[in-house]
Amino acid sequence: MTGLLFASFFLYNEIFVISVIITLAVGCAVSVLFIKRYDFAAVLIFAALGITLFTTVSARLDNAADSLCKEKSVITAIITDKRTLGGDTASFTLSADVGGTNVGMLFYSSDISAEKGDTLCFEGSAQRLYNTAYFSTADIYRSKRIVLSVTADSEITVKKGGFDILSPLYKLRERVAAKTDIYYADDGGALM
């Protein structure tokens, strides 16, 4: 856990990550050979493993996302989350399998008759999420493995998923939250 925590603060730069791992390995060797403290060595070993794991997963996610960003492609993805934004607009969080890696995507569209667990298929293009001065979008969504934003260039085909036992619970939660927001329009609704 320690390594994963510290690795999340690192810039994604191979030379920097390799130098950190080498430094941790040298620190581990010094603590075992000269100081005789095995607890320091254990912490440093797990920190190095966490940094290596974080770097490997990030590189794999980036490679899979880059293959979708190059040109228009047919995107087949499962809806992992849906939020109705008002009127007839909805925000979908999609998950697609690209070369054995699950890549998360944000998709804004008109509110089609699709729910969580359904599969969307459309021809579209993907762009990487990026940080702005106001909101660090890419950093926040990356922790959820969401690295792309997609747009549909053709008609969207919806394939209904099987029955999900959690789907009625999500719908009930949304109804209760909507009613709470009606009665407590200010910050009290969010508190409830």
Domain 71-161 in CATH 2.40.50.140? The answer is yes
- Residue 161's pLDDT is what? 75
Fill in the amino acid letter for 191. Answer: L
- Looking at the predicted structure, is the pLDDT value of residue 7 above 60? no
User: What pLDDT was estimated at residue 139?
Assistant: 76
Secondary structure (3-state) at 149:
strand
User: Residue 14 — pLDDT band, cuts 50, 70, 90?
Assistant: low
Per-residue pLDDT, 9: 58
Backbone angles phi, psi at 73, to 5 degrees: -150, 165
Q: Is the pLDDT of residue 4 over 80?
A: no
Q: Which segments of the chain are extended strands (E)?
A: 73-86, 89-98, 101-110, 119-128, 146-152, 157-159
Write phi, then psi, for 84 (nearest 5 degrees).
Answer: -85, 125
54 SS3 class: helix
| Highest averaged pLDDT of the listed ranges 15-19, 22-26, 112-116, 117-121 | 117-121
Say what the pLDDT of residue 172 is: 85
**% of the chain surpassing 70 pLDDT:** 85
Across the range 134-148, mean pLDDT stands at 81
pTM of the model: 0.67
* The pair of three-digit structure tokens given for residue 123, joined into one six-digit string: 């021809």
Q: Give the Å distances, CA to CA, from 24 to 11, 12, 13, 37, 76.
A: 17, 18, 17, 14, 42
Show me where the domains of the chain are located.
Answer: 2-67, 71-161, 166-192
pLDDT at 12: 57
All residues at 6 or more sequence positions from 166 whose CB lies less than 8 Å from its CB, including other chains = 116
Confidence band of 55 (pLDDT split at 50, 70, 90): confident
Of the candidate ranges 8-22, 65-79, 85-99, the one whose mean pLDDT is the lowest:
8-22
pLDDT digits (tens, 9 = 90+) for 56-72: 788 888 888 888 887 78
What does DSSP assign to residue 136? -
Residue 2 clears pLDDT 60, i.e. is over it: no
pLDDT tier at 84, thresholds 50, 70, 90: confident
Residue 112 has pLDDT above 60, yes or no: yes
